[in-house]
Amino acid sequence: MSDGTVAEVLAAMADPTRRALLDSLAAGGEASATALSTGLPVTRQAVVKHLAVLERAGLVTPRREGREVRYALRPAPLADAASWLGGLAAEWDARTRDGDGVGSAGR
């Protein structure tokens, strides 16, 4: 996974509405923007814009079904970002264990 892709995924996931959309798709599978907007404090049009951000980051994929567009979660970019974060966490743990992390500067 490239640094740009990691950045896009993390930026897309930074918004709480987009995280709620990802949670809904993970729990319920494929859904339309109308269905996804139910229970959210934003309009359907705002949901469509959020879904476009998630699509650009590779986190969802749209599928036209008649007049409706249905969105599905693409877990691979999430797994790639989680793997990158896991590697970063392991590196940080090793640095703090070896005394090279926070609090050791200037000693």
Whether the per-residue pLDDT at 49 is higher than 80: the answer is yes
| Domain residue extents for the chain | 3-97
pLDDT score for 63:
98
Q: Token pair for residue 33?
A: 């923007």
The reported pTM is 0.80
The pLDDT score that the predictor gives to residue 80 is: 87
pLDDT, average across residues 4-23: 94
Rounded Cα–Cα distance for residues 40 and 16 (Å): 11
The CATH code belonging to domain 3-97 is: 1.10.10.10
Helical residues (DSSP H) of the chain, grouped into ranges: 3-13, 16-28, 33-37, 44-56, 75-97
* Stretch among 1-5, 27-31, 86-90, 91-95 having the lowest mean pLDDT: 1-5
Tens of pLDDT, residue by residue over 26-41, are 999 999 999 999 989 9
